[in-house]
Structure 1
Amino acid sequence: MKRAALLISLFVIAVLCLTAAPAVGGPTPNPVCGACGSSFEDAASDNGVIVNVTASTAAIQIHPNGSATWTVTNRLSQSAATLSSSPETLTQITREAATSRGVIYRGDTGPVVFRSATVDNETVRIRFRDPDAGARHLGVLVVDYFHSPRMRGSWILNADPISVSGPTGTVVSNDPRGAINDEYAGDGELPTVTGNTVQWANTSTDGRQASLSEDLYLAFSEPATSSLQVAAAFTVASLPIWLGNISIVVLPAAFVYGILLIGVAAVARRAADSALAADRLAAAGVGFGVWLLGMVVFDALPATLGGVGTIYLIVGAAAWHRPDLLRSTRGALAVGLASMGGVAATLWGLGVVDARSALAPTVVHAMVTHLPLAVAPAFGHAVCRRGGSASNARIAAGFAGGIVAFLLAGGVFVPFDVGWFIFMTFGTVGAAVAAALFGLPLAMLGACQPTATTPHEGATPTSSEATETADGGDT
């Protein structure tokens, strides 16, 4: 009873690791223009001057080398006299606003160069240059002002209007509106595109500033540039973010998974050496898979577990009706490949029936994220000691293959263009625990399929296997 209770508890932990979604508050919004509105008021206050900004505009001109010139205008209300009478104070405030606050927060960037500041008719005009507004990838100039390199960004559109214009002869080659969920977005969050200019204009009548919570790139290129080339440029631009996610999020989880595989291998080997009835284990796997799928179909369990149920069903059925398929590493891998195809079909079907169950953007994504479970039977077969000098090499290959499978799954699991945050690490480590626990019975199925010529160490061959071995047969 104690062992059964422990096994049930481990499966409950695995389910929680796969399905729990921590409640995370959104990131603190940053003003798009640090030299506009209240940000300019704060810069003036830090220098002992009280100003009241009633309206701001920001025009950003992108240059072919990826730099940008900002032109900011702040209309003041009866507070421009001090700035008009003291050019030194005006320069001090505007320089501080431009160099310390002016550019959208994007982490460590190049130094902002202050150019000029004037005040006329209660309007302050500031010009400064940002040397690192964007970069050219595959012939496309990608501007990342509205794309955070870390966790998903959030910006306050604190100027009206805000315009971003590309170099002369270019056009906006992507659809910025397409990256914004317009079901919940107000008019002020949806930009308009005209030629080589993207502009946000707040059309609300309540005076409230709009905010933007989606990450989006702005692409400027020649008019004939294809959408495929633009998508490739965005991929190259996001590659450093993805590699950072791999190194910070996936590699630590892979280390944890490797340690857990040692325990999986020990349990699978012990199950094989104890002559555990493989057919009963296979039947249990089929039953568990059917139960999981049934619970998912009737919304009693999250759709996350639909793929897990499919793998259990296919591997269990193969071990029950065609156990010879699991008596070699190659055969076990073939069964795993078939189960991955079943995962893709299952999740696609669930997505057709209920769009909320569409967990993966592509079939390949769905298959790769379940790769650690799909290779679990082959891992169990590989790490189970059998006679022969190649046993240690086979065990090492099994561990290497299992860890590589987890790295591949983690590589498609973490976001490609959204940076790391702490709960993502908890998620991947939890996924490592879940993969090891759900993979344990599958590894046991692969380990409990001895061959006649290379029985498990300590296992006693059945009478039929002994007869076939004596006759020179090979199962």
Structure 2
Amino acid sequence: MAPHRRHHLALLCLVCTSLLCIAVPAGAAPPPRPLCDACGDSFASTAESHGISVAVTHSNATVTVHNNGTATWVVHNRLSGTEAAARLRTNESLRTAIADRAMWDTELLGANVSGDGVITLRYREPDFAEQSVGGAVRTGEFTEAYGYRNLDGLGADRLVVVAPDGMRVERPIDGATVSDDGQRMTLTELNDGRIVTFVPRETAVGPLLSLLALGALLGPVMAVKALAYITLPTAVFTLLIGAAAGGVAWLDWEFKGVRDSVGIVFAGVGALSASLSLLGAIGVLRLGGTAAPLFGGGTALFVCGIALSRRRIREQTSYRTVVVGTVVGAGIALGATIATAPMVVSDGSTPPVTTLLVLGPAFVLFPAGYAVGHGNRRLAVKTAAIGFVLSMLPVLPVLPAPYGLGVLFIPVVTASAAAVVIAGLPIFLAGVSLGVPQTAR
């Protein structure tokens, strides 16, 4: 192997390894902690580590968000032990040490214990939220992915979030109670967190500002994860297309007969696929969730086959028209799959992700083959790479644990990409036959 090729291979391996590291969750995750570290049992554990045995019977917290993104926490913990409460009340240094350690990533502003055994803690958190588009403010503190923590519940029995001055809560936590004026959001539990947004109180486009604030935050993250998840499958798909193109050039087959029968074969295979799907719908065959994609793909192949059966269409084809036709065919396949899923899937199952992943890449094979037949192998490789990426976007897992697969999406899609190229060679060869110039036929 030439030295420069070895260098390119080493660089490719390094890039793939780096992207896999991005996709794989870090193995050393931080320890689970509640949203309010200084509340309830978490505070009691911190006090115990300082030699104070205390139980918290009730805990309330109020978080006041400011326009510059900072937040002020006020925590009230009712202590059960009078002796421990008295010790904390009289020992300022011990009280300060416990309070300072109880809340992570905050600045302690003060701590005091009342005569009835309630310890009040005040903190300042500098990066609780951040300003965004159109004056909106967003915070990721209520999520694991963007709060940079391993959340374990709310911590407090009751948590109140106060919107910045002149603003209201636009996107609250599911299950939270929002006041009539939108200034306060009250939580009693935290199961599934989300990004919370605040918008100017009098704005008429609050939902739009909230959406833009989310997009500005999630856009770069989605792009990085998309790159991490799809690089290896795209490389495999493209390399196999390149290998198939080399095989076609080496074998030097005669494609005239194949070209003339492409339409009939496509229409026949499409009709057969749709018929099998219908047999699955009436219970003759057990196809489960594959019935809908089978019907959608079969319908698209049938329509494309009818079109390619006409000599005039075959003789006037170009790369552009083939790409347009492929996009239309893929749209028909996707639309038919979605529209007929409730009708052809009788057992209540849903189309598996691995089945849906086949439809888009399978249609990419046709224009890639056309480019090979036309003698433009570089265009074929570009078509394969770009087409595969675009076909993956609708099902790309850009959020944590999509479809229950998470990082396993990478080997699943890689295997699916290889299987599509191998099983879809007839589609690829049909494209080759259609792209061979008239003088070479």
Q: TM-score range by the shorter chain?
A: 0.7 to 0.9
- 1-side partners of 2:410 and 2:299: how far apart? 22
CA contact (8 A) 1:286 1:312 kept: yes
**Structure 1 residue 148 and structure 2 residue 144: aligned?**
yes
Residues 108-127 of structure 1: matches in 2 within 5 Å? 111-120=105-114, 121-127=116-122
Residue 269 of structure 1 and its aligned partner are, at CA, apart by 5.8
Query: Is residue 163 of structure 2 the alignment partner of residue 166 of structure 1?
Result: yes
After TM superposition, the structure 1 stretch with the greater mean CA deviation from structure 2, 310-319 or 42-51, is: 310-319
Query: Greater helix percent: which structure?
Result: 2
Task: Output aligned runs, 1:451-466, within 5 Å.
Answer: 451=436, 453-455=438-440, 461=441
Q: 1:289 aligns with which of 249, 253, 273?
A: 273
8 Å contact kept, 2:139–2:195:
no
Letter in 2 for 1:41: A
TM-superposed deviation, 1:141: 0.8
Measured in 1, the distance between the counterparts of 2:121 and 2:152 equals 21
Q: Do the aligned residues in 2 keep the contact of 1:250 with 1:425 (CA within 8 Å)?
A: no
Indicate if the aligned counterparts of 1:325 and 1:331 stay in contact, CA closer than 8 A: no
Does structure 2 conserve the Cα–Cα contact (< 8 Å) formed by 1:67 and 1:133? yes
Q: Is the contact between residue 410 and residue 428 of structure 1 (CA under 8 Å) also seen in structure 2?
A: no
Partner residue, 1:66:
69
State the partner residue of 1:468.
Answer: none
Cα displacement string for residues 208-236 of structure 1 (whole angstroms, at most 9, x for unaligned residues) = xx441253423232321412232222211
Q: 1:308 to 1:382 in 2, by over 3 A?
A: same
Q: 1:249, 1:425 within 8 Å by CA — same for their partners in 2?
A: yes
Please tell me whether residue 245 in structure 1 is matched to residue 225 in structure 2: yes
**What is the Cα deviation at residue 29 of structure 1?**
6.8
Distance apart, 1:352 and its partner CA: 6.6
AA matched with 1:88:
S
> Do structure 1's residue 383 and structure 2's residue 362 form an aligned pair?
no
Q: How far off its partner does 1:38 sit?
A: 1.4
The answer to whether 1:443 aligns with 2:428 is yes
Write out aligned runs for 1:12-411 (5 A).
Answer: 30-78=33-81, 79-98=84-103, 100=104, 111-120=105-114, 121-138=116-133, 139-149=135-145, 155-174=152-171, 176=172, 180=174, 189-202=175-188, 210-226=189-205, 227-266=207-246, 273=253, 275=255, 277=258, 279=261, 281-282=265-266, 285-287=269-271, 289-291=273-275, 293-294=277-278, 297=281, 300-302=287-289, 305-306=293-294, 307-321=296-310, 324=314, 328-350=318-340, 371-384=360-373, 391=375, 394-411=376-393
- Which one-letter code corresponds to 1:241 in the other structure? V
Seen in structure 2, the aligned counterparts of structure 1 residues 215 and 297 have a Cα distance that, compared at 3 Å, is: farther
What is the Cα deviation at residue 281 of structure 1? 4.4
Q: SS of the counterpart of 1:448?
A: helix
Q: Which has the higher contact order (CA 8 A, sep 6+)?
A: 1
Matches of 1:258 and 1:95, distance apart in 2: 56
Deviations 1:397-441 (A, max 9, x none): 221122112223334433455588994333244224324433523
- Change in Cα spacing, 1:271 to 1:48, as seen in structure 2 (3 Å) is farther
Q: Measure, in 2, the Cα distance between the counterparts of 1:37 and 1:433.
A: 49
1:309, 1:28 → 2: CA distance? 51
Note closer, same or farther for the CA distance 1:369–1:42 as it changes in structure 2 (3 Å cut).
Answer: farther
- In 2, the alpha carbon distance for the partners of 1:315 and 1:271 equals 27
User: Contact conserved, 1:55 with 1:75, CA < 8 A, in 2?
Assistant: yes
Whether the 8 Å CA contact 1:53–1:76 is kept in 2: the answer is: yes
Letter matched to residue 301 of structure 1: G
5+ residue gaps in structure 2?
A: 1-29
CA 1:313–1:173 in 2, change beyond 3 Å: closer, same or farther?
A: same
**Residues 1:413 and 2:395 aligned together:** yes
Distance 1:402 1:325 in 2: 24
Pair 1:450–1:419, CA change in 2 (3 A): closer
**Letter matched to residue 192 of structure 1:** V
Distance 1:282 1:28 in 2: 56
Any unmatched runs of 5+ in structure 1? 1-26, 101-110, 181-188, 203-209, 361-366, 456-460, 462-475
CA 380–289 in structure 1, closer or farther in 2 if over 3 Å, else same: farther
61 and 368 in structure 1: CA distance in 2 versus 1, 3 angstrom threshold: farther
Letter in 2 for 1:232: L
Instruction: Please give the TM-score of this superposition, normalised by the length of structure 2.
Output: 0.75
Residue matched to 2:416: 434
Kept in 2: contact 1:154–1:213 (CA 8 A): no
The Cα of 1:72 is off from its aligned counterpart by 1.1
Q: Shift of residue 271 of structure 1?
A: 8.1
SS at match of 1:449: helix
CA distance in 1, matches of 2:382, 2:430: 19
Letter in 2 for 1:249: Y
Alpha-carbon RMSD across the aligned residues, in angstroms, is: 3.7
Quote how far apart the aligned CAs of 1:64 are.
Answer: 0.5
